[in-house]
Amino acid sequence: PLLFPIVGRLNGDVLHIDGADYPMKQHGFARRSLFTLVEQSATHAVFLLQDSAETRAVYPFAFALRVTYTITDATLEIAVAIENRSESPLPASFGFHPAFAWPLPYGLPRADHRIVFAEDEPDPLRELVGSAISSGRRPSPLQGRTLALDHALFTQDALIWDPVHSQSVRYGASTGPQLRVDFPDTPMLGIWTKPGAAFVCIEPWHGIADPEGFTGDIREKPGIVTI
């Protein structure tokens, strides 16, 4: 899923814009939208989502969201560009939500899998109350730079680094093949799974859920970028 124009959940599932209220489900509408394929080759594809009467009913802005997927050898690069086609500044957030098999298909047990950060991450994590961001923080579960994966980590929903100092993590078992996930342009990172699910999500974000009790305009929402 691609998270746009918000990341996370809004208080009451309502977006406040210039004194008007609009219904908006968790993570926005791009994840449920049909993109148009506008360009392709053997190694890349470009998809486009533009505003429509349906999107303007919940997000009154003209925009173009362009997503380019490129494969080079064993690397997949996903590049996202948001274009403002409105006359006024465009407030938006964007996030990735890729899920990776847990365990990876190399015959090693789930309990041996971990995520290793490229840099030290000394800060405590954001804490969720329901789907809202609490004013409190939770202790980091990292041992050094390593997150040993366990479903007990996610009983309070996602782990949220805000800010995240690393621009890359490695995921896999302690031996065998690894996946490297680079995220050079996103200041936050969520790691999440459903209880009992056979995947783990590594989610670079430029945006975050509403703070607990937040009722302000979208332009005052933490993590919003003005384009």
Q: Where are the domains of the chain?
A: 1-93+211-227, 95-206
- Quick one: pLDDT band at residue 195, thresholds 50, 70, 90? confident
DSSP H helices, the chain, are 53-56
pLDDT at res. 12: 96
- Per CATH, the number for 1-93+211-227 is 2.70.98.10
Among residues 74, 80, 110, 76, the alpha carbon closest in space to that of 93 is found at 80
Round the average pLDDT of the chain to a whole number and report it.
Answer: 96
Burial label, 51 (beta-carbon count in 10 A; 0-12, 13-18, 19+): middle
Helix, strand, or coil here: 173?
Answer: strand
Cα gap 25→23, rounded to integer Å: 7
In angstroms, the Cα distances linking 193 to 23, 114, 124, 184, 202 are 26, 13, 20, 23, 9
Above 90 in pLDDT, residue 9? Answer: yes
Domains 1-93+211-227 and 95-206 fall in the same CATH topology? yes
In angstroms, the Cα distances linking 65 to 69, 75, 76, 214 are 13, 23, 19, 27
pLDDT > 90 fraction of the chain, expressed in percent and rounded: 97
Summarize pLDDT for 120-179 with one digit per residue, the tens.
999 999 999 989 999 999 999 999 999 999 999 999 899 999 999 999 999 999 899 999
Cα gap 175→177, rounded to integer Å: 7
CATH 3.40.30.10 fits 95-206, yes or no: no
